[in-house]
Structure formats: structure tokens, C-alpha cells
């Protein structure tokens, strides 16, 4: 595994984690529940598609818990 691949995976993991936290904050602050649910569903869809991609690491499982 070369250095470029390691950096790419780290960037993806950090961006997914940031997106997860941002989604939680937005869904908490939105007063209309259907909007909060839509934001959460969008995140879950993007998270699932990223999780199913090849080249997953142990860190993917840590973030999911």
C-alpha cells in the first residue's frame, strides 16, 4: 500500500466523520422533523455507498459504532 492510498483513505474517513457530526447538528436544529429525516437519510445513503467500496479499513468499523 503506497502513501497516496493511505492519505486518500484518511481524507475520506475524516470527511465522513465530519459529515456525520454536521448531519447530527443540522437534524437537531431543524424544527420540521421531515427535513431532519431527509438530511439523515441523505447521509446514511452516502455513508452506505462509501462503506461498500473496496479498500475498507478497520477505521471504517470504528466510525460506524
- What is residue 20's predicted lDDT score, i.e. its pLDDT? 79
Mean pLDDT by runs of 10 across the 65 residues of the chain is: 81 81 71 66 60 52 51
Per-domain residue ranges for the chain? 3-52
CA distance 38 to 18: 18
- What is residue 65's predicted lDDT score, i.e. its pLDDT? 45
For residues 47 and 20, the answer to whether their CB atoms sit within 8 Å is yes
What is the grid cell recorded at 27?
A: 437534524
Amino acid at each position: 500500500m503506497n502513501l497516496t492510498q493511505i492519505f486518500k483513505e484518511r481524507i475520506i474517513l475524516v470527511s465522513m466523520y465530519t459529515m456525520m457530526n454536521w448531519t447530527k447538528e443540522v437534524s437537531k436544529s431543524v424544527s420540521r422533523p421531515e427535513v431532519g429525516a431527509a438530511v439523515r437519510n441523505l447521509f446514511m445513503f452516502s455513508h452506505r455507498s462509501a462503506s461498500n467500496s473496496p479498500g475498507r479499513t478497520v477505521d471504517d468499523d470504528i466510525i460506524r459504532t
